[in-house]
Amino acid sequence: MKFSELNLNPSLLEGIDAIGFENATPVQEATIPIILENKDIIAAAQTGTGKTAAFLLPIIHKILEQPQDGHIKALVIVPTRELAVQIDQQLEGLSYYTSVSSLAVYGGGDGQSFDREKKALTEGADIIVGTPGRLIAHLNMKYVKVEQLDVLVLDEADRMLDMGFNEDIMKIIGYLPKERQTLLFSATMPPKIRDLAKKILKEPEEISIAISKPNEKIVQAAFVCYDGQKIDLVKHILKAGFLRSVIVFCSTKDSAKRLTRELKKADMSVEEIHSDLEQKAREDVLSQFKSRKLKVLVATDILARGIDVEDIDIVINYDVPNDGEDYIHRIGRTARAASTGGAFTFVNEKEQSKFLAIEELLGKPVPKAKIPAYIGEGPAYDPKPKRGGGKGRRRPFKKKK
């Protein structure tokens, strides 16, 4: 379906055309008409499906169709600062030819940024995109003009609950009008999301788009290895001359820091990004990576969802993700916008059963790649539980001379 068939405001269609959008993605085609009918939605859609525009476009359209009175009309709650900035940037592009105003509200800035946010919230920007903690800080001071709010969006709702924001979300909702439209977008639908939906949605329409299946254009492979081989494996992969943009995902900040140190020693163009970095430093690193001034980004799961970085050549899972959905979101950074990409996962002995569960979710085994001879042999891939109670002995790897 073309966007021109969705009966959107002409000024909004100009912005869509300027960005280069022509055909709606499946999630956009499914959700936009329902949102325009003012119905609540609970939607399951993975990263890269176009879900941000799926809720922004109808919200902008509805704001344009009513008198602007200085009150906030829509509130989008997101789990991270990076996602707030990304959504606000896309919002600016889509609404470029309209009078709709927006503001990203998130922590980590200085006193001046808080004052700027306060001014916009007092005067009433049309759409506010923010993180829970920062929104509560402003709402507690009683100047946020939400009395006439029409739409509430919870984006990446499952991740927000994983991060412990359930109480914050309910506190924010307590400030909002009871008569409103609520849109809940989540990559997964665990019981806790269903419970949240029951509390805040009214007779919602349910939409499910391509959950738990990676883009077919992603070439996947796994290296079954020992922990001590991982750094050498990363270096081996990064020697490929055609690689311009690579993300390496680590499960912990410590492993991200250690890997970055080792890659810098090898004179590679690399930086790390994780929650220990100040917000300004994180933004600088992301900016360098997006502009291709930086080749390799070593990141914790803060980047697994919601960061709009196009044309990633490969994704490396330095550690096996905790579950299949996290795996999908990590490797979903590559093969975006009709391009192809690669995803390599390092699987140590302890992670084999976890990786087997991911393969079962995918519905097929991930091909196992051979470790280069100079790095040494890895363990056998044998994830099935062993019979008997013996612990057995692990043979440490040895590099071949």
Which pLDDT tens digit goes with each residue over 256-273?
A: 999 999 999 999 999 998
CA–CA gap between residue 218 and residue 96 (Å, rounded) = 33
Q: Which residues is 45 bridged to in the sheet?
A: 209
Q: What is the DSSP string of 293-313?
A: S-SEEEE-GGGSSS-----B-
Structural tokens at position 146: 């939400």
Q: Are 274 and 256 in contact (CB under 8 A)?
A: yes
Share of the chain above pLDDT 70, in %: 89
Confidence band of 64 (pLDDT split at 50, 70, 90)? very high
CATH 3.40.50.300 fits 3-209, yes or no: yes
CA–CA gap between residue 105 and residue 121 (Å, rounded) = 9
- CA-based nearest residue to 268, from 280, 279, 276, 260: 260
- Residue-level pLDDT at 325: 65
Most confident of 44-48, 186-190, 371-375, 389-393: 371-375
Question: Is residue 278 over pLDDT 90?
Answer: no
Structural tokens at position 276: 């220990």
Question: Is residue 20 over pLDDT 80?
Answer: no
Question: Is residue 395 over pLDDT 80?
Answer: no
- Average confidence score pLDDT of the chain: 86
3-state secondary structure of 162: helix
Question: Is residue 400 over pLDDT 60?
Answer: no
Region 58-74: mean pLDDT is 90
Q: Which amino acid is at 252?
A: T
3-state secondary structure of 270: strand
Structural tokens at position 197: 């939906």
Structural tokens at position 147: 């009395």
Q: What is the DSSP string of 205-254?
A: EEEEESTT---TTEEEEEEE--GGGHHHHHHHHHT-TT---EEEE-SSHH
Question: Is residue 389 over pLDDT 70?
Answer: no
Distances (CA, A) of 347 to 244, 268, 318, 359, 372: 25, 24, 8, 12, 15
Confidence band of 314 (pLDDT split at 50, 70, 90)? very high
Burial of 191 (0-12, 13-18, 19+ CB in 10 A): exposed
- Residue-level pLDDT at 305: 54
What's the CATH code, domain 218-362? 3.40.50.300
Question: Is residue 392 over pLDDT 50?
Answer: no
Question: Is residue 308 over pLDDT 80?
Answer: no
Question: Is residue 399 over pLDDT 60?
Answer: no
Region 281-287: mean pLDDT is 86
Domain extents for the chain? Answer: 3-209, 218-362
CA–CA gap between residue 63 and residue 65 (Å, rounded) = 5
Q: Which amino acid is at 27?
A: V
Token look-up 């609540």 returns: 40
Residue 141 has φ and ψ, to the nearest 5°, of -90, 0
Question: Do 3-209 and 218-362 agree at the fold level?
Answer: yes
User: Which helix (H) or strand (E) covers residue 136, if one does?
Assistant: helix 132-139
- Residue-level pLDDT at 252: 85
- Residue-level pLDDT at 388: 39
- Residue-level pLDDT at 27: 87
CA 284, 122, 171, 126 torsion-angle sign:
negative
Residue 3 is given by DSSP the state: G
Confidence band of 385 (pLDDT split at 50, 70, 90)? low
Region 298-327: mean pLDDT is 77
Question: Is residue 78 over pLDDT 70?
Answer: yes
Question: Is residue 103 over pLDDT 70?
Answer: yes
Confidence band of 123 (pLDDT split at 50, 70, 90)? confident
